[in-house]
Chains A and B, each alone.
Chain A
Amino acid sequence: MEFADILHRCFRCGYCKFPNNYQDFNCPSYSKFRFETYSPGGRMWLLRAWLNGEMKSSARLAEILFSCATCGNCVEHCVFPKFKDDILHAFLAAREEMVNQGTVPPAVRDYLKTLQVHGNPYKLPRLEREKWKHGLNLESYSGQEYLFHAGCVGSLDERGIKMARSVAGLLKKLGVSLGTLGIEENCDGNEALALGEKGVFQSLVEKNLQSFQRLGVKKVITLTPHAYHAFKNDYPKDAYPLEVFHYTQILSAQAKKLSALPTPSSFRVTYHDPCYLGRHNKEYQAPRKILKSISGLQLLEMGRAKENAFCCGGGGGNFFTELLGSGAESPARARVREAADTNASVLAVACPNCAKMLDDAVKSENLEEKIVVKEISEIIQGAA
């Protein structure tokens, strides 16, 4: 297995479980399950035992490995500079091994199967992919400056659709030149790669690059940080050069225009950094610049923010496989409790996966009276 040579170098000191101020556990799966096995160090040692034959494949071992949200907190806070960058790589390599051996959890198997058969995780026909933009008068891509990529969640999930409409609508209102692929759009494959299915990922890469090449796409705006990460970092750069932007980066460049828009009266907002925008791509400023440009908005930071942000639990495929569950100790519920503690009335998000995870968590925590989850463009446009 690739990266197997770093597994024994983990001391299991546990810095990887924390943010830099140690205020609480910051590894989503450890925070939820609380057995050492579900911590990054536990995984490292178990994987070594598995490769050495000391530990057999099992449903439990698969759950331990696939419940990692790939949020990158361990990479950020590991104190061993010589191998920390490969911790997640090792977990993904092990997932790939388990995919090849057919020992993945049933929820992972079902996700990958559905993605392969239907091209999306919702078992919906391709025709459904363009319904999200109904009534927005968005053009099909034909040489505009940007291609807007809504992704599977933005195109097919109810909460994601709401967000995609809000973001694309605002971009259009601001005069950004963009087009969409509609029914021609494909999944970006980030979750497939995170779940260890390189074959499916490769075929999605090919499909996407063929579309981009055929249409001459040079710049892409993604709705989801997951697609942003995949296009930017995992797609072969030499095969097809592409400039990739998360929509907050485009909006932040329009901050002056945004500050002129009418907004609700003064309100307090806290912002949840999505892992694939923040820790994985170090984009902490663009969303904050937008929020700070909104008149009357008071930005209150949570104790765990930016590189210390606590994942909503939806990364690494867990948005679909739900291995991190929904109980009171689930990362999303812990995160909305933390957000509510800031006394903000709005929890701002910049990712459809986070929006849905945290929306559900607010309901489960009965916090609807106290805090509401809104995507950044929804806040700008005063949407409920």
Chain B
Amino acid sequence: MEDVYKELAQIVGPSYVSNQPEERFIYSRDPGTMEPCEPDFVVLPGTTGEVQKIVLLANRKKIPLVPMGGGLVLSGLSRALKGGIVLDLKRMNRILEVNEKSRYALVEAGTSQGMLQAYLKKNHPTLKHSIPDSPPMATIGGNVLIHGSGHLSHAAGFHSDMLNGLEVVLPTGEVVKIGSCSTSPYWFGRAPLPDLAGLFLGWFGTTGVVTKLAIKLYPNRPYQDVGVFVTEDPDLVPEVFYQATGVQVAEDITAWMTPKPEWAKGFQHININYAADTPEELIWKRNLIRASLKGLISRKVGGFLPLPPPMKKNFLEAPQTTLAQFADVRKGGGFEYVGGIMPIDLFPKAYRVGIEVAARQGTTYSTGARIIGLGHCMMFFFAYPFNRADEADVDRARRALEETNREVLEMGGIPWKAEVPAQKQIIGRMDAGTLNLMDRIRTMLDPKGIMNPGNWEVR
């Protein structure tokens, strides 16, 4: 292994490679419940050229290679399940281009959500990108590649739908471009070419290392507001979603349900965020949203919550800093969630499953949902906090997650950024032809099986 270390040090410089116990320990785990798996090396490349050389080395030596962004996926996807090299891409964080008129940004894959947000605010204040609810350390690349979603997902879908193009180092070392950038100097989109982006989206780094990507930007409107519609009947929530999405003025629609604080228990809160260029437009949009839910309000089965200013401020913040505080519910620094991607009509069932699983596993919970597209589907999350210092508590959360994954699949949803056990559950239900195709693609792209092995193991 010493020769590998030397070669890695030659590629990235000795300051950016480590085989020390400290880095192997920290990079063996993420903040979720999955068991640690130690890498042999942690490497911080600074350029596509360096990534390419590392991939060629890994290929030559048959060493597993695990790409990592912010490391905040919580489901352990950047653990080195079979040892090898963890490739922390956060030194590759340059913002390379913003095309203001065509509304896209080209960035290196390790660019953090926070840095792009700050850069746009300073240099292109009329534009913004869709921010996920993860902390600002989450990377643009990582979040797009796991089919993340965020504050513009109601308007524009999954973050992978907002992808214009990719630069990828293939497992065999070739650098390829995907989308318009393969043919044109512009990164304006994936059409009209054969769409090869699917070879890398949702694959958890098992088909290559994405080094650059372009994403769509959207108008950053100066006037923003949020309304919180509340109902006590989960069976009504799909109707709320359907009506509120139908008017097509919201940027983001999310739901949240929590047993604590007491005043929130038993209610479904639906946040509807919208923005406008003028105060008049904002009022007009507010009226449209309210009108869409008028039927429910007049039946007295729901209504809008008067929002105290601090709460409103919190709901308008992106990312919401208070969300991470869920990790301290049990004074233990941990939570993990199952994000079930599913049709919105499954909301009532998902809501009840969340409560039942938490009760069965003796843990507390928080649930919620984000609308993707105009209600085409949702990401329903079931979050379980745990005390990292109490192994029994961690185990309770782990069992709750596993049971929830099973329930999500059972009801017709699919777990998002699935942990390895959940990946196995998904594979167990997947169409045989699809599995076979996945296997053929992966074998073709990565004949030596070096890319994040242990994930999406179809065979």
Residue B307 at the chain A interface, CB threshold 8 Å: no
* A350 on the B face (CB < 8 A): no
Residue ID in chain B nearest A12 by CB atoms? B31
Residues of A within 8 A of B113 (CB): 22
B122, A23: Cβ atoms under 8 Å? yes
Interface size for A (C-beta < 8 A) is 37
A24 at the interface (CB under 8 A from B): yes
CB neighbours of A37 from chain B (8 A): 22-23, 26
CB neighbours (8 Å) of B333 from chain A are 8-12
Interface membership of B252, Cβ < 8 A: no
Any A CB within 8 A of the CB of B25: yes
Contacts of B334 in A (CB 8 A): 11
Interface residues of B in 97-119 (CB under 8 A from A): 112-115, 117-119
| A59 nearest CB neighbor, chain B only | B20
By a CB distance below 8 angstroms, the chain B residues around A34 are 16, 44, 88, 90-91
Asked whether any CB of chain B lies closer than 8 Å to the CB of A163, the reply is no
Known: A13-B137, A14-B135, A80-B328. A60 touches B22 (CB 8 A): yes
Q: Which of A11, A21, A35, A64 contacts B118 (CB 8 A)?
A: A21
- Over the window 64-107 of chain A, the binary record of Cβ atoms lying under 8 Å from chain B Cβ atoms (1 yes, 0 no) is 10000000000000011111000000000000000000000000
Q: Which of A50-58, A178-186, A374-382 contacts its partner?
A: A50-58
Contact B388 A21 (CB under 8 A): no
Find out whether the CB atom of A60 lies under 8 angstroms from the CB atom of B20: yes
Shortest Cβ distance from residue B228 to the other chain A in the assembled complex, whole angstroms: 22
> Does A201 belong to the interface (CB within 8 Å)?
no
Taken together as a complex, chains A and B put the C-alpha atoms of A58 and B114 apart, in Å, by: 34
A14→B70 contact, CB < 8 A: yes
Whether B112 contacts A22 by the Cβ 8 Å rule is yes
A79-B136 contact in complex given A9-B333, A24-B115, A45-B26, C-beta closer than 8 Å? no
B window 116-141: CB within 8 A of A = 117-119, 121-122, 135-137
B148 within 8 A of A: no
Q: Does A245 contact B (CB under 8 A)?
A: no
Assess the B21–A58 pair: CB atoms within 8 A: yes
Q: Known: A8-B389, A23-B119. Is A14-B26 also a contact (CB below 8 A)?
A: no
CA of A82 to CA of B396, assembled, Å: 24
Q: Output the nearest chain B residue to A82 by Cβ-Cβ distance.
A: B328
> Is B436 an interface position by the 8 A CB rule?
no
Which residues of the other chain, A, contact B121 by a CB distance below 8 angstroms? 21
Chain A nearest CB, measured from B422 CB (Å): 21
Contact of B321 among A55, A79, A83 (CB under 8 A): A79
Task: Report the minimal beta-carbon distance from A27 to chain B, rounded to whole angstroms.
Answer: 11
* B328 in contact with A9 (CB, 8 Å): yes
Q: B387: which A residues are within 8 A, CB to CB?
A: 8
How many Å lie between the Cα of A24 and that of B95 in the bound state?
A: 12
Is A42's beta carbon under 8 Å from chain B? yes
Assembled-state Cα–Cα distance A37/B22 (Å): 7
CB distance from A43 to the nearest CB of B (A): 10
Q: A46 contacts which chain B residues (CB < 8 A)? A: 22, 25-26
Query: Contact at B115–A23, with CB atoms within 8 Å?
Result: yes
Q: Find residues 1-38 in chain B having any chain A CB closer than 8 Å to their own CB.
A: 15-16, 18, 20-23, 25-27, 31
**Inter-chain contact B322/A79, CB cutoff 8 Å:** yes
B residues less than 8 Å from A15 (CB atoms) = 135-137, 321, 324
Q: Decide if B332 touches A55 in the complex (CB within 8 Å).
A: no
User: Which A residues are CB-close (under 8 A) to B327?
Assistant: 9, 11, 13, 80
Cβ proximity bits A327-350 to B, threshold 8 Å, 1 near / 0 not: 100000000000000000000000
Least Cβ distance of B86 to chain A in Å? Answer: 10
B23 touches A35 (CB 8 A): yes
Does any Cβ of A come within 8 Å of B325's Cβ? Answer: yes
Complex Cα spacing A17 to B22, Å: 19
Q: Decide if the interface of chain A is mainly helix, strand, loop or mixed.
A: loop
Q: How many residues of chain B get a CB closer than 8 Å to chain A's CBs?
A: 45
Tell me, in angstroms, the Cα distance from A17 to B333 when the chains sit together.
17
Q: Which residues of B contact A79 (CB under 8 A)?
A: 321-322, 324-325
Give chain A interface residues in 1-43, CB to chain B under 8 Å.
8-15, 17-18, 21-24, 33-37, 42
Q: Which of A8, A33, A64 contacts B15 (CB 8 A)?
A: A33
CB atoms of B332 and A35 under 8 A apart: no
C-alpha gap A14/B114 in the complex (Å)? 11
Which residues of B are found within 8 Å of A45, using beta-carbon distances?
Answer: 25-26
Q: Which residues of B contact A23 (CB under 8 A)?
A: 114-115, 118-119, 122
A169 within 8 A of B: no
Specify the chain A residue showing the minimal Cβ separation from B137. A14
CA distance A49 to B388 in the complex (A): 12
> B71: CB under 8 A from chain A?
yes
- Shortest CB-to-CB span from A31 to chain B, Å, is 11
Residues of A within 8 Å of B118, CB to CB, are 21-24, 303
> A64 contacts which chain B residues (CB < 8 A)?
22
Complex CA gap A8/B331 in Å reads 9
User: A54 to B135, alpha carbons, bound, how many Å?
Assistant: 28
For window 128-172 of B, CB contacts with A under 8 Å fall at: 135-137
- Whether A42 touches B16, Cβ cut-off 8 Å, given contacts A15-B136, A79-B321, is no
Query: Does B181 lie at the interface of the complex (its beta carbon under 8 Å from any beta carbon of A)?
Result: no
CB distance from B118 to the nearest CB of A (A): 4
B16 CB contacts on chain A under 8 angstroms: 34
Does A355 make an interface contact (CB < 8 A)? no
B388 CB to closest chain A CB (Å) equals 4
Q: Is the CB of A55 within 8 A of B18?
A: no
Answer whether A13 and B324 are a contact pair too, CB < 8 Å, given A8-B388, A22-B118, A35-B42.
Answer: yes
CA distance A34 to B331 in the complex (A): 28
The residue in chain B whose Cβ has the minimal distance to the Cβ of A64 is: B22
Please give the distance in Å from A85's CB to the nearest CB on chain B: 14
- Chain B residues near A (Cβ < 8 Å): 15-16, 18, 20-23, 25-27, 31, 42, 44, 70-72, 88, 90-91, 112-115, 117-119, 121-122, 135-137, 321-322, 324-325, 327-328, 331-335, 387-389
A residues neighboring B (CB under 8 Å): 8-15, 17-18, 21-24, 33-37, 42, 45-46, 49, 54-56, 58, 60-61, 64, 79-83, 303, 327
12 contacts between A and B (CB under 8 A): A8-B388, A8-B389, A14-B135, A17-B137, A36-B27, A36-B88, A37-B22, A46-B26, A64-B22, A80-B324, A80-B328, A82-B331
- The 5 residue pairs across chains A and B that have the minimum distance between CB atoms: A22-B114, A14-B137, A11-B327, A23-B118, A8-B389
A23-B118, A79-B325, A82-B331 given; name 18 further pairs at CB < 8 Å.
A9-B328, A9-B332, A10-B333, A11-B327, A11-B328, A11-B333, A14-B70, A14-B72, A22-B113, A22-B117, A34-B44, A35-B44, A36-B23, A36-B88, A45-B25, A55-B22, A79-B321, A80-B325
